[in-house]
A = this chain, B = another copy of it.
Amino acid sequence: MNIELTVIPEGGVTSPAGFKAGGIHAGFRKNPGRLDMALLEADELCPAAGVFTQNVFCAAPVTVSRAHLDNQGYGYARALVVNSGIANAATGSVGLENARKMAQIVADTVQCATEDVLVASTGVIGTHLPLEPFETGVPELHARLGKNGHDAACAIMTTDTVSKEAAVSFVSTDADFEGVTFTVGGMSKGSGMIMPNMATMIACITTDAPVSPAQLHVALATAANASFNKVTVDGDTSTNDTCVAFASGKAAPSAGFFKEGSVALAEFTTALNAVCQNLARQMARDGEGATKLVTVNVKGAATDEEADLAARTVANSPLVKTAIAGHDANWGRIAGALGRSGAHFEQEGVDIDIMGMPVLRSGLPVGFDEDEALRRFEQDEIIIDCNLGAGKAETTVWTCDFTHEYISINGDYRS
């Protein structure tokens, strides 16, 4: 199916119908000029889903949001509140209680059940979350909530240098929704996976398409696996990683949910994947100290798992990432990473291309023009293509180069 997506300029979580959002300086951060709390509110209770960090040291808000989605990853929700500055991770039972109160304060303001509020936090680990900023900030922000997705996207940033937002729309060709325009929007924050005591990736997706909680969860988990889960800045997955989605259904209010296996559901899934991949690429490009987005394509793997293993090993190799920072078409390090990845293949079957230049064929080096290589490295996206010649599985992983700046950001004493 070939569906046409329309990118919405400066689109974000408030592009789809049925959502209001905004950001405020509530007081989690010292700098009064810095937004540090985001609130997203659906006009009514609507289908919601979430995928969360697998880290054993998961933060309190992750535990609470999981519970509010009935510990099955989907259900119904009305609002999402996110604070930056304090992660509420490694805070024990007190942290859990604070995360619940954080949800309750929003519930009291929005007039919904506490279980209908999802929460997320990002910032310093091991510090308790103050509640005063919520008590004063939530009512104030709620009062002036509007189509301010950008403020919300800015309020969840930590070491991100730019906010990450995206939105696309499509006109359905499904017989039941002929000509109806549906929109999917999103925001995320990323940067290093764990900053000096900080914790990390948060994404929120909204849509006005009528998808059921279960449909939304399946689509979100699938999209996250092909986007956010394919991004690696330094291999460190954080304690707070959270990705949630809300579906207002406002674009087709009275139609009921998309039918299973329908064209409309497939169209929605495609749009959701596009938004998630767009956000994922923005996250990789803005990795700590990054100067380049690095796209690692692996094909010819024996299995999907081995394709992922091979691509991830290349993308996480400090030697590959430093070589790219150094504009070095260093196929030796890429071959070395593929070779140790655990993927099964014969070195005689391996081809590697860097920026479209063949550098390895059948496991043997191919001479290339170093000057031409340097020219191609001027691009701000570096593309590495590896063919293992061992099967039909393929995947793409996104990362960034590894610079002095990364060491400075992460090596400088946190105080």
A268 and B359 alpha carbons, distance in the complex (Å): 47
Any chain B CB within 8 A of the CB of A252? no
A92's closest neighbor in chain B, by CB? Answer: B364
Contact A410 B335 (CB under 8 A): no
Interface segment, one of A5-13, A19-27, A53-61, A109-117 = A53-61
Asked if A319 contacts B192 (CB within 8 A), the reply is yes
The answer for the CA separation of A141 and B249 in the assembled complex, in Å, is 81
Asked if residues B407 and A336 are in contact (CB atoms below 8 Å), the reply is no
Chain B residues near A194 (CB, 8 Å)? 319, 332-333, 336
Q: List 19 A-B contacts (CB under 8 A).
A: A55-B339, A57-B336, A90-B365, A124-B332, A125-B335, A193-B319, A193-B336, A196-B323, A197-B332, A197-B333, A234-B317, A234-B319, A235-B317, A235-B318, A236-B319, A322-B407, A325-B411, A326-B412, A328-B414
A402 within 8 A of B: yes
Within 8 A of B (CB), among A346-362: 346-348, 350, 360
CB-defined interface of A168-208 with B at 8 Å, one 1/0 digit per residue? 00000000000000000000000011101111000000000
Residue of B nearest to A348 (CB): B92
Q: A58 vs B346: C-alpha distance in the bound complex, in angstroms?
A: 10
Q: Are the C-beta atoms of A199 and B328 separated by less than 8 Å?
A: no
Question: Of B199, B317, B328, B347, which one neighbours A56 at CB under 8 angstroms?
Answer: B347
Given A326-B412, A411-B323 in contact, is the A336-B236 Cβ separation under 8 Å? yes
Contact A411 B322 (CB under 8 A): yes
Beyond known contacts A57-B335, A90-B347, A126-B332: 8 more, CB 8 A cutoff: A57-B336, A90-B335, A91-B364, A125-B335, A194-B319, A325-B411, A326-B410, A402-B411
Given A57-B338, A90-B365, A318 contacting B410 (CB threshold 8 A): yes
Closest-CB distance, A48 to chain B (whole angstroms): 26
Report if A327 contacts B (CB, 8 A). Answer: yes
In the complex, the answer to whether B404 meets A339 with C-beta atoms within 8 Å is no
Query: Interface size on A (CB < 8 Å)?
Result: 68
A403 / chain B contacts, CB cutoff of 8 Å: 407, 411
Given A330-B197, A345-B56, A363-B90, are A239 and B339 neighbors across the interface (CB < 8 Å)?
yes
One of B56, B323, B340 near A346 (C-beta < 8 A):
B56
In chain A between 21 and 65, which residues have their CB closer than 8 angstroms to a CB of chain B?
Answer: 54-58
Determine which of B91, B196, B199, B345 lies in contact with A330 in the assembled complex, contact meaning CB atoms within 8 Å. B196
Q: Which of B238, B328, B338, B411 contacts A336 (CB 8 A)?
A: B238
User: Are A322 and B363 in contact, with the CB atoms below 8 A?
Assistant: no
Could you mark each residue 131-157 of chain A with 1 if its beta carbon is under 8 Å from any beta carbon of chain B, else 0? Answer: 000000000000000000000000000
User: Does A406 reach chain B (CB closer than 8 Å)?
Assistant: yes
**In the assembled complex, which residues on chain B have CB atoms less than 8 Å from the CB atom of A126?**
331-332, 364-365
From A360, which residue of chain B is reached at the shortest CB distance? B90
Residues in B whose Cβ lies below 8 Å from that of A412: 326
B90 touches A236 (CB 8 A): no
Verify if A303 is at the interface (C-beta below 8 Å from B): no
Q: Which of B192, B316, B326, B331 contacts A235 (CB 8 A)?
A: B316
Question: In the complex, what distance in Å separates the CA atom of A119 from the CA atom of B316?
Answer: 31
Closest 7 A/B residue pairs (Cβ): A57-B339, A126-B365, A326-B411, A125-B332, A322-B410, A55-B339, A56-B339
Cβ-based interface call for A159 (8 A) = no
Complex contact A333–B236 (CB within 8 A): yes
Q: A325-B411, A407-B404, A411-B325 are in contact. Are A236 and B330 (CB under 8 A)?
A: no
Expressed in whole angstroms, the Cα–Cα distance for A319 and B337 within the complex equals: 20
Residue of B nearest to A289 (CB): B407
* A415, CB-defined interface residue at 8 Å: yes
Distance (Å) between the CB of A240 and the closest chain B CB? 10
